[in-house]
Amino acid sequence: MPRVKSRRKLLPPRKKGEPNRWHPELVGKIRGYPKTQEAWQAKSDLMRQQVKLYNAEGITFRSGVPDGWAGKKKLINKINTEALAEAKDIVDELIKLGRFQADNVEAKIALEAAVQVIVAEKHTPETETVPLYNVKDRLAATKIVLEYTQKKPVTKSEVGVTKAEDFLAALATKG
């Protein structure tokens, strides 16, 4: 039996919210597809039970694993640990230089977390660096860091209040 490249191309489209069902026309076209409705239901129930079991054990949980980093949880944890150490050094240096004054411990922890997102990257043998977090998350973290470490420019607004006579005199000289 020839192997099919994509199972999705054979499956008919499904409406949103509609439960999955057995398709008898796929028997023999997809390797391992159940031959009867009962076999399909049994396989479906078994898969649901396995997912519930795996979720309870924490096996299928993707906590902290960004898209594109599948199977690299140990590497991600290592990168995050190194990035957190580097972030703590950076924040301590900012405090020492007087660029950031933490009001409380939580503020320091929050800034460290934002800096961690910015500096977390993987170094490949080709000396290429690959950021762990996507651009949107890194820009949001950068905005947070800049907001609390950079002084905002002072805006000066002058309100010129003049007397009514001065206003009329100015109009008279222009005309």
Gap between the Cα atoms of 46 and 43, Å rounded = 5
Gap between the Cα atoms of 21 and 13, Å rounded = 12
* Structure-model confidence comparison of residues 93 and 170, the more confident one: 93
How many other C-beta atoms are found inside a 10 Å radius of the C-beta of residue 90? 19
Q: Is 85 strand, coil or helix? A: helix
Tell me the pairing of strands 129-131 and 121-123: antiparallel
Structure confidence by residue, pLDDT tens digits, 71-119: 788 888 888 899 999 999 999 998 898 888 878 888 888 889 999 999 9
Where would I find the H helices in 20-163?
A: 37-57, 73-97, 105-119, 135-149
Provide the pLDDT confidence category of residue 2 given band limits of 50, 70 and 90: low
Nearest residue to 149 (alpha-carbon basis) of 108, 94, 109: 94
Gap between the Cα atoms of 71 and 143, Å rounded = 30
Enter the pTM of the model: 0.53
Mention every residue, 6+ apart, whose C-beta is less than 8 A from residue 33. Answer: 26, 27
Check pLDDT > 60 for residue 31.
yes
